[in-house]
């Protein structure tokens, strides 16, 4: 799960991307089996930052449990979901 400290780190990292010319990111969630409100808030914030920069945030490797939570909260429509990640860059 995403802790409050992790959420702050994620927020700062994502906010730095547009300054570096990055406006499209993919969150690899293949190791995430459960998500809480902190994680959802972090994803929504990242999506907003990317959209303000003219880009988008996509999710990949989404476990069924996480997808169900996104569906039930009505947030699924905000996140394009790709298949499994073949190659990624850890942050």
* pLDDT tens, position by position, 17-63: 999 999 999 998 988 898 889 889 999 999 999 999 999 999 999 99
**Under 8 Å between Cβ of 20 and 91:** no
Q: Please name the residues in contact with 40: beta carbons below 8 A apart, sequence gap of 6 or more.
A: 69, 70, 73, 75
Element (H, E) at 65: helix 64-72
Measured between alpha carbons, how far is residue 86 from residues 49, 60, 83 in Å?
25, 10, 9
Backbone angles phi, psi at 3, to 5 degrees: -80, 170
Residue 89 has pLDDT above 80, yes or no: no
**Under 8 Å between Cβ of 40 and 72:** no
| pTM for this model (two decimals) | 0.85
């Amino acid at each position: 799960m995403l802790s409050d400290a992790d959420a702050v780190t994620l927020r700062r990292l994502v906010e730095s991307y547009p300054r570096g010319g990055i406006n499209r990111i993919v969150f690899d969630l293949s190791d995430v089996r459960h998500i809480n409100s902190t994680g959802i808030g972090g994803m929504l914030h990242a999506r907003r930052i990317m959209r303000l920069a003219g880009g988008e945030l996509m999710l990949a490797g989404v476990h069924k449990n996480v997808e169900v939570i996104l569906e039930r909260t009505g947030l699924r429509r905000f996140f394009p979901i790709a298949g499994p990640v073949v190659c990624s860059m850890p942050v």
